[in-house]
């Protein structure tokens, strides 16, 4: 595969809903943000409907399904309730993530290896309904092999450990995490899995990941919504896109 293959940018709009929900009203509207993201060059929109509905709501998912021109990547936990919602909407992609009520964000990857049977049954109807199923996992060969065995088409590598280790510049620890991500992207690709990555990415941390030829999509949310406060959403996304494209073409 050549490194010139296009890298997709999925913009996660969860935290537009976080700001909206801080006041309990309907402003700012995540759907409006999604349309601006499309206009800025996002290749997809990601939204995570959490069990506690702390940000994205059921109505947001319904609205996104209606108005989006680009694919929706619907993030959800492996619960019966979420499976029903996904089967009703049949989004382009479903990303299965671990979820703990007490966590502030999705702190780790899914434990696929220990739950293989259960997850294989869980994702089968989603695939039959036409959604591409992605599994959010740590850069760990056991989890990648298990994701492959259960029939996932895509894995998303959790980049949180790399981003956390990147403190005002590349650190030894960040480099070690990057090597893991690179090697696991190569491994997953060799099994025939499509490789995505995300969590905690920013202008500072995005380039080394964007340069990995096996990575086909980056999902980025919190940083972009934060940066939108200073730059506006469209310029914030355009700058991310530029950094990704530059890293890809080097
Ligand atoms: N990918 C997945 C699977 C996620 O759960 C999240 C966070 O919701 C992201 C990407 C985006 O992470 P961030 O908001 O830190 O950019």
- For residue 214, indicate whether it is catalytic: no
Cα 6–chain centre separation: 17
pLDDT, residue 127, reads 98
pLDDT higher than threshold 90 for residue 149:
yes
Is any ligand 1 atom within 6 A of the Cβ of residue 217? no
Residue nearest to atom 7 of ligand 1 (CA): 199
Give residue 3's pLDDT band: very low, low, confident or very high (50, 70, 90): very low
- For residue 89, indicate whether it is catalytic: no
Looking at ligand 1, which atom is closest to the CA of residue 156?
3
Is any ligand 1 atom within 6 A of the Cβ of residue 97? yes
Residue with tokens 């959604």: 131
Instruction: Out of 3.20.20.70, 3.40.109.10, 3.40.50.2300, 3.30.420.280, select the CATH number for domain 8-249.
Output: 3.20.20.70
> Which pLDDT tens digit goes with each residue over 47-58?
999 999 999 999
pLDDT, residue 1, reads 44
Is any ligand 1 atom within 6 A of the Cβ of residue 198? yes
Buried b (16+ CB within 10 A) or exposed e, 210-248: bbbbbbbbbbbbbbbbebbeeeebeebbeebbebbeebb
Q: For the packed helices 222-231 and 233-249, what is the interaxial angle rounded to 10 degrees? A: 120
- Residue 191, classed as helix, strand or coil, is coil
Residue % of the chain over a pLDDT of 90: 90
- For residue 75, indicate whether it is catalytic: yes
pLDDT, residue 104, reads 72
Q: CA neighbours within 13 Å on the CB side: how many for 3?
A: 15
Mean pLDDT to the nearest integer, 92-99: 96
pLDDT higher than threshold 70 for residue 4:
no
> Which pLDDT tens digit goes with each residue over 152-195?
999 999 999 999 999 877 789 999 999 999 999 999 999 999 99
- Residue 78, classed as helix, strand or coil, is coil
Buried b (16+ CB within 10 A) or exposed e, 41-67: bbbbbbbbbbeeeebbbeebbeebeee
d(CA 195, ligand 1 centre) in Å: 15
Mean pLDDT to the nearest integer, 141-161: 97
pLDDT, residue 211, reads 97
Buried b (16+ CB within 10 A) or exposed e, 10-36: bbbbbbbbbebbeeeeeebbbbebbbb
């Amino acid at each position: 595969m050549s490194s010139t293959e296009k890298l997709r940018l999925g913009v996660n709009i969860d935290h537009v809903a976080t700001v909206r929900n801080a006041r309990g009203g309907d402003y700012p509207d995540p759907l409006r943000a999604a349309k601006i993201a499309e206009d800025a060059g996002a290749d997809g929109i990601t939204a995570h409907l959490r069990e506690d509905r702390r940000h994205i709501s059921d109505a947001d998912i319904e609205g996104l399904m209606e108005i989006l021109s680009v694919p929706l990547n619907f993030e959800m936990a492996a619960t019966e309730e979420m499976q029903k919602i996904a089967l009703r909407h049949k989004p382009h992609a479903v990303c299965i993530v671990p979820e703990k009520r007490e966590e502030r964000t999705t702190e780790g990857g899914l434990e696929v290896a220990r739950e293989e049977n259960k997850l294989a049954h869980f994702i089968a109807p989603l695939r039959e309904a036409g959604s591409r199923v992605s599994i959010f996992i740590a850069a760990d060969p056991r989890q990648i092999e298990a994701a492959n065995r259960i029939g996932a088409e895509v894995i998303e590598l959790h980049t949180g450990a790399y981003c956390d280790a990147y403190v005002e510049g590349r650190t030894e620890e960040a480099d070690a995490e990057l090597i893991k991500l690179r090697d696991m992207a190569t491994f997953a690709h060799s099994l025939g899995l499509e490789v995505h990555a995300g969590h905690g990415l920013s202008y500072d941390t995005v380039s080394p990941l964007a340069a990995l030829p096996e990575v086909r999509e980056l999902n980025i949310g919190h940083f972009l919504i934060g940066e939108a406060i200073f730059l506006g959403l469209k310029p914030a996304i355009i700058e991310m896109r530029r950094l990704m494209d530059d890293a890809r073409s080097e």
